[in-house]
Amino acid sequence: MPESSLPVLTVHVRAVPEAVVVAAEGDLDLGSAPVLRARAEAALESRPAALVLDLGGVGFCGSAGLQVVAELVAATEAAGVPFALVTDRRAVLRALRLTRLDTTLALHPTLTGARAWLRERA
């Protein structure tokens, strides 16, 4: 398979005072979703005060990416960990709304907004 056809998704994990932030950039599809799943699950295993999934850098979100989001909603709920999703990207928002996932999580257009929401919950 030529390198240009490989899925490209970069995932960074960092801690902020309110949460662990898992930030993804690129396309979130069948080929790249396992990367996000593994990094987010590892972050959740550390028992953070909260988990923020930042998809502000994601240009495409396919059904496999939506599955990861749904899994994180369930996992954070089961663990009692507040969860917020950050994005202002039209393609991601549209997919979340079409699947009604937007009704199951705290959705914020910016990381600053998500962090403020978490501080208000504390």
- Among residues 105, 66, 65, 64, the alpha carbon closest in space to that of 86 is found at 105
pLDDT digits (tens, 9 = 90+) for 68-81: 999 999 999 999 99
> What tokens were used for 82?
């507040």
In angstroms, the Cα distances linking 58 to 22, 42, 120 are: 12, 20, 27
In this prediction the pTM is 0.93
pLDDT tens digits along 40-75: 999 999 999 999 999 999 999 999 999 999 999 999
pLDDT confidence band for 122 (50 / 70 / 90): confident
Q: Which residues contact 42 (CB under 8 A, 6 or more apart)?
A: 13
Residue 1 pLDDT grade (very low, low, confident, very high; cuts 50, 70, 90) = very low
Helix H or strand E encompassing 54 = strand 51-61
Cα 116 from chain centroid (whole Å): 17
* Residue spans per domain, the chain: 31-120
The predicted structure's pLDDT at residue 64: 97
User: What percent of the chain lies above the pLDDT cut of 70?
Assistant: 94
| Rounded mean pLDDT, 102-120 | 97
Pick the CATH number of 31-120 from 3.30.565.10, 3.30.450.40, 3.30.750.24, 3.10.450.50: 3.30.750.24
